[in-house]
A and B are shown apart, each in its own frame.
Chain A
Amino acid sequence: MHIVVCVKQVPDTKIIKINPKTNTLDRRSAPAILNPYDAHAVQEAVKIKRKTGGTITVLSMGPPQATAVIKKSIEIGADRGVLLTDRAFAGADTLATSYALSKALERINMDLPIDLVICGKHAIDGDTGQVGPGIARRMDIPPITSVIEVTEVNQEEKTVLIKRKLTSGYELIQSEMPCLLTVEKEINDIEYSPMPNMIKAARYEPIIWSVNDLENVDRTQLGLKGSPTIVGKMFTPPRPEGGKKLEGSVSEQVSQLMEILMEKKDLFTLTSSR
């Protein structure tokens, strides 16, 4: 069983500040962390490996300091990690990123055939959720999104049984392997890493690949050149204005509430398009 987990280094958006003039993220203001959804993806790989055995490889793309997220993944329990880092990859949007990662996956697959690719639901800095499915499309394997449970892995039949989150309820689907999963946070709890993993991670030197380490690469599809996305406008949404607190006895509060609702009833009335 060979599981590859794609991970990304992101600024911690819980802390990050936004430059009010340019509306861009001030990356210096927040520490770089392993994208939280990706941490759950690595953790899920570790849980699967406990049952099936095998190898967990993590793959990331980013500047040289992104080796930190590979080390973090080793702490969680990955066996090895590859970082794609090269000026040629810089400025990539989701299309170019999924292209570069799929080329790296091709090479990884040649060394050791891949059974499962796991990604986080999305990165907390971009929130697009496009890279995972993009990779699946390029590799021509099934993408399975919104995964909340890996119910069964059948190595003989080469199938997986997956629970997906839907708007209401969930669905169970079976898929052939290899396939690609993108996971939700509720799929697992991140475990407190054991000491031997910590020592291994502190010692670990990630494998570094540049564009020259990949084969059959169309360079026009990489980096800024290969990124058709254009950011039209960025803005910080205005803070919602504070609500109003109703006071008095219950019946007074109810009548006040009714008054307000009646005043704003247009907001709640659905107008037919006909």
Chain B
Amino acid sequence: MPEKFDVIVVGAGPAGTACALTCARNGLNVLLIERGEYPGAKNVMGGVLYRQQLEDLIPEFWKEAPLERPVIEQRFWMMDKESVISFGYKGLEWAVEPYNNFTVLRAKFDQWFAQKAVEAGALLINETVVTECLVENGKVVGVRTDRPDGEVFADVVVLADGVNSLLSKQLGFHKEFRPDEVALTVMEVINLPKDKINDRFNLEDNQGCTIEIFGDSTKGNLGTAFLYTNKESLNIGVGTTLSSMIKAKLKPYELLDYLKNHPMVKPLVAGGESAEYLAHLIPEGGLRSVPKVAGNGVVVVGDAAQLVNAIHREGSNMAMHSGLLAAEAVIEAKKRGDFSETSLNSYREALYNSFIIKDLEKYKDAAHTFEKYPQYFKEYLPMMNRAASKFFTVDGTPKRDKQKEIIKSVTAERGTLRVIQDLYRAWKAVK
């Protein structure tokens, strides 16, 4: 006789684990199913973890979680072929508790996080693939796994199966995602001694730095690259929308090689030993790609619900918060004894009233705008680099004349009207 649980959570990433943890703490009987050898074995992100949403679940988690470094400096690079315009912020208030955000290695972090759910009473099963949701009379009643006697039943199934959520697709919650709705990110973990990292990035022990790199890092395509400091390694990676990659015939590993050998980047990673190579799709379609998130006996959380804010590199925190909101809805549904879509729609409401959907709403046009109008990455960034070079080169030309020249060259290249249009469009996309 197959067992029946209160909740089955598919996927032990940040969203699934947050949901399982909250449900288990509230006395629900939870089964958490992970396809990897252990939680985190298959998960990829650049490596920045924001504090607030995890602290909501585990107060003062930084005292025990396997974190790399608290981030005290965030740099932004607008990079051309042989130059870069850099700005950023470094603040020591981020170097002390409660901190702002951290660099993490997901293989370690996810295991620790899932262990918290297990300690709260959730049952974790690894190396098991959920092949489909079991549906009876229009209601999801459980899952089928790839194991013998693989059916398990539950009042609610939580789909936290990641970006390419085959399970919610099977339920008809979304269609196959288009190449412009997902980014392909490749990254490497490069081992480098602590002292070298501290010297090269101007850090003390237990201080971290993040660099987001725009422009030539993606050869002008829509996307970004990143370079983050761990304790004794660097995370370096680059991603562009799949559609850009197809259009420009880019090979992801070539792009990463190009980045590592870029003259602005190379000295920072030189001498490091490549320890891991990872690649993953990131849901970057924004608000318009968010599928149906609640049905009869089922909710969708995290990447599976496409909850990523690409502009602010937020994803794991949104995943955790969506997991928490889903858990709260499930707990309420359990009290009512009603697991219908109407009942579970309280999750949808909570999600749409939270920062998650509000932020996605703010940027709903951003990716589309920048994808449609490639001039921002392809033309303006190099232009700005040339302007900066001209302005800061001392050659006896009066500064006011330089300014005039710069403005003239920009409007000459793009035309005054188009520059104004471009500026307005960009502002509208992110306002």
Contacts and interface: CB of A to CB of B under 8 A. Distances in A.
Interface of A: 191-196, 198-199, 202-203
Nearest to A202: B123
Nearest to B41: A31
A196 B125 CA distance: 11
Contacts of B124: 202
A195 B151 contact: yes
Given A199-B152, A203-B123, 7 more contacts: A195-B150, A195-B152, A198-B128, A199-B3, A199-B123, A199-B125, A202-B123
A29 to B, nearest CB: 11
Which 10 residue pairs across A and B have the least CB separation, nearest first?
A194-B148, A202-B123, A194-B149, A195-B147, A195-B150, A198-B125, A195-B149, A202-B125, A196-B149, A194-B147
A235 B146 CA distance: 44
Q: How large is the interface on B (under 10, 10 to 19, 20 to 34, 35 or more residues)?
A: 10 to 19
A191 B147 CA distance: 10
A71 B153 CA distance: 23
Contacts of A196: 2-3, 149
Nearest to A192: B147
A192 B147 CA distance: 7
18 contacts: A192-B147, A192-B148, A193-B148, A194-B148, A194-B150, A195-B2, A195-B128, A195-B150, A195-B151, A196-B149, A198-B125, A199-B31, A199-B123, A199-B125, A199-B152, A202-B123, A202-B125, A203-B123
Interface of B: 2-3, 31, 123-125, 128, 145-152
Contacts of B128: 195, 198
A203 B121 CA distance: 9
A199 B126 CA distance: 10
Nearest to A198: B125
Contacts of A198: 125, 128, 147
A171 to B, nearest CB: 35
Contacts of B152: 195, 199
Name the residue in A192, A194, A195, A198 with the highest tally of chain B Cβ atoms < 10 Å from its Cβ.
A195
B423 to A, nearest CB: 53
A193 B31 CA distance: 17
Contacts of A191: 148
Contacts of A193: 147-148
A195 B145 contact: yes
Contacts of B3: 196, 199
Contacts of A194: 147-150
Nearest to B151: A195
Contacts of A192: 146-148
Contacts of A203: 123
A195 B3 CA distance: 10
Nearest to A203: B123
Nearest to B118: A202
Nearest to B152: A195
A256 to B, nearest CB: 39
Nearest to B1: A196
Contacts of A199: 3, 31, 123, 125, 152
B148 A195 contact: yes
Nearest to A33: B37
A191 B148 CA distance: 10
A203 B147 CA distance: 18
A17 to B, nearest CB: 12
Contacts of B150: 194-195
Contacts of B125: 198-199, 202
A103 B372 CA distance: 74
Contacts of B151: 195
A16 to B, nearest CB: 15
Contacts of B2: 195-196
B313 to A, nearest CB: 30
A28 B123 CA distance: 26
A203 B145 CA distance: 18
Most buried by B among A192, A196, A198: A198
Contacts of B145: 195
Contacts of B147: 192-195, 198
B33 to A, nearest CB: 9
Contacts of B31: 199
A193 B127 CA distance: 10
A196 B128 CA distance: 12
A270 to B, nearest CB: 47
Contacts of A195: 2, 128, 145, 147-152
A194 B3 CA distance: 13
Nearest to B125: A198
A17 B17 CA distance: 31
A199 to B, nearest CB: 6
Nearest to A193: B147
Nearest to B128: A198
A175 B9 CA distance: 49
B386 to A, nearest CB: 48
A77 to B, nearest CB: 11
A158 to B, nearest CB: 32
A198 B125 CA distance: 7
A203 B149 CA distance: 18
Nearest to B150: A195
B332 to A, nearest CB: 26
A194 B149 CA distance: 6
Nearest to B122: A202
A272 to B, nearest CB: 52
A273 B196 CA distance: 60
Contacts of B149: 194-196
A192 B124 CA distance: 17
A63 B205 CA distance: 32
Contacts of A202: 123-125
A192 B3 CA distance: 19
